[in-house]
Amino acid sequence: MIQIKNISIFLMPLLLFLACSNSTTPVDPDTEEWVELFNGENLDGWDFKISGYELNYNFNNTFRVEDGLMKVRYDEYESFNGEFGHIFYQEPFSHYRLQVDYRFVGEQAPNGPGWAFRNNGIMFHSQSAESMELDQDFPDSIEFQLLGGDGENDRSNGSICTPGTHVVVGGELQTQHCINSNGPTHHGDQWVTAELVAFGNALIRHKLNDEVVIEYTNPHLDNGTPLTGGYFALQAESHPTDIRSVRILNLEGCMDENARNYKSYYVKDNPDACTYN
């Protein structure tokens, strides 16, 4: 029989291996941690609010998931009669980047308003779905307007609309309902990536396919209350729309460089979020 006089010689490599295996790999503070909010299978994590109907009553199957896409559809409508809808993500945000891949498809619902042809939007810094009135058409919010072309005429995409709100563009208060961007026209059923960059109420930026089309400051309610954050929702305004991705990069978090979860791209500090071991 072979006797082992110094077992530590044999155990040491194993112990070192286990120690390394159990250690936490450092996270690159510059690596962006995007989170996909639409799972491609169902609408878990989202609330519906359609004008004239109670919260989460999905009138005529307006919002659905098919073929891995979130869809706005009107094939079960005989006629559109002002059933403006919104699908809200259930968590509010303040400082973030939000990217939505979308496209317009098919024909507008019968009796849909002319202005709503290939027209939807991202409503943000919004009131919650629960707080909307039964017959309220649009939440108090800022709208990143999504527009599609008619195949012939120019129609700037990425403009601002302001239901119950106002913004400051170029240092001047804007009180009209919609403010045009310098965005391009997107004809046909092409996929477009809309990106919203929100730094609370300090700066808002609209981007289309990675190009800035407008930026502004000081979003606030009609009564002057600053909008520093809130919920966001995707619209259903009578034209069929496909959405294949809704992803977010939170810009609020631990800004202590000594913490394990420090990120160099954060712009708003949340000390309570810091972890050190």
pLDDT of residue 77: 98
Q: Which residues of the chain have pLDDT under 70?
A: 1-26
Domain layout of the chain by residue ranges: 35-155+228-253
Report DSSP letters for 202-260, one per residue. TEEEEEETTEEEEEEEEEEETTS-B---BEEEEEESSS-EEEEEEEEEE-EE---TTST
The Cα 219–Cα 163 span in angstroms is 11
Tokens of 215: 């930026």
Query: With contact defined as beta carbons under 8 Å apart, do 140 and 226 qualify?
Result: no
CATH topology (fold) of 35-155+228-253: Jelly Rolls (2.60.120)
Task: Give the distance, in angstroms, between the CA of residue 231 and the centroid of all CA atoms in the same chain.
Answer: 9
pLDDT value at position 277? 85
Global pTM reads 0.89
- pLDDT score at 251: 98
Q: How far apart are CA 208 and CA 213, in angstroms?
A: 7
The answer to whether residues 140 and 165 touch, using CB atoms and an 8 Å cutoff, is: yes
